[in-house]
């Protein structure tokens, strides 16, 4: 018997990385997962792995920076399943031209839209479903960049992820009376595709020392299975060999 038997979960940014690992982990625990991202092909690959392992997955591609597309997926979940127990709002992005010297208006729009506006659209779309059913769990993938000010991730990404953290806390303030629980998940460096947007390539050893998507999926599953009277408001998860700490110690990376 799985820890998520009978639950309906929507995972965004589910084609790769943390989202894909979480969707597969949830399905293995009995959840029916709805997976969303911009590209259908990676989503279908994730769904195929879930189904091959005996799980249930529904592919719903969408551009989450478009409110109408978000509303369409959320409305479809409500119509088809009648409820939504867990939202994992994981979609996010970064760009190479992220520093102030190279940042353009188009880059600003991409960063804020892909990391913050999309998160607001998704939360706003599912709140009515969770209110009507009397509860639900939202887990928003922010970042340690959403808690610490620094230049490595770029000002747009840092600002957007700070916004995601603030958004999550306001959901708890407004919706706790409706049984809705919101968690800001703030991982440190994770070995995912977003690292390909780093201006400086990373070594395989550096990638291996980072958090892996499965580590994040385990934490997200833990949050999703907490009892209804418990809220994990915010959680940090970082690599033991935290490159920021190592750099501060003056040790060569």
Beta bridge mates, 180: 136
Residues 115 and 165: their CA atoms lie apart, in Å, by 11
Q: Which DSSP letter does residue 13 get?
A: S
How far, in Å, are 50, 155, 189 from residue 159 at the CA level? 35, 6, 17
Active site residue 157: yes
Q: Is 220 left (phi over 0), alpha (psi -120 to 50) or beta?
A: alpha
| Inter-residue long-range contacts of 222-228, CB under 8 Å, 24+ positions, other chains counted | 223/137, 223/139, 223/183, 223/185, 224/4, 224/9, 224/26, 224/86, 224/88, 224/137, 224/139, 225/3, 225/4, 225/29, 226/137, 226/181, 228/135, 228/179, 228/181
- One of 121, 157, 222, 245 is an active-site residue; which one? 157
- Residue owning tokens 């009507």: 132
- Residue owning tokens 């920021």: 244
Residues 183 and 171: their CA atoms lie apart, in Å, by 9
* Cβ neighbours for 169, distance < 8 A, ≥ 6 positions apart: 182, 184, 233, 234
Give catalytic residues, as residue numbers. Answer: 157
């Amino acid at each position: 018997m799985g820890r998520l038997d009978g639950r309906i979960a929507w995972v965004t940014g589910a084609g790769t990385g943390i989202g894909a690992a979480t969707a597969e982990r949830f399905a293995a625990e009995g959840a029916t997962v709805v997976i969303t991202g911009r590209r259908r092909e990676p989503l279908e690959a994730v769904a195929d792995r879930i189904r091959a392992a005996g799980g249930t997955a529904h592919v719903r591609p969408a551009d989450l920076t478009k409110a109408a597309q978000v509303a369409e997926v959320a409305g479809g979940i409500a119509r088809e399943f009648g409820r939504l127990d867990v939202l994992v709002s994981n979609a996010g992005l970064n760009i190479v031209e992220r520093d102030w010297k190279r940042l353009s208006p188009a880059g600003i729009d991409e960063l804020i839209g892909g990391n913050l506006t999309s998160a607001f659209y998704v939360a706003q779309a599912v709140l009515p479903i969770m209110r009507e059913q009397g509860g639900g769990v939202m887990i928003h993938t922010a970042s340690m960049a959403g808690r610490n000010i620094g230049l490595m991730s770029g000002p747009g990404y840092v600002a957007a992820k700070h916004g995601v953290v603030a958004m999550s806390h306001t959901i708890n303030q407004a919706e706790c009376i409706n049984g809705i629980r919101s968690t800001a998940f703030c991982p440190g460096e994770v070995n995912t595709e977003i690292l390909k947007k780093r201006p400086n390539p990373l070594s395989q050893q550096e990638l291996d020392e980072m958090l892996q998507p499965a580590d994040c999926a385990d934490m997200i599953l833990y949050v999703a299975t907490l009892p209804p009277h418990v809220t994990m408001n915010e959680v940090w998860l970082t690599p033991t060999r935290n490159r920021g700490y190592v750099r501060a110690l003056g040790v060569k990376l």
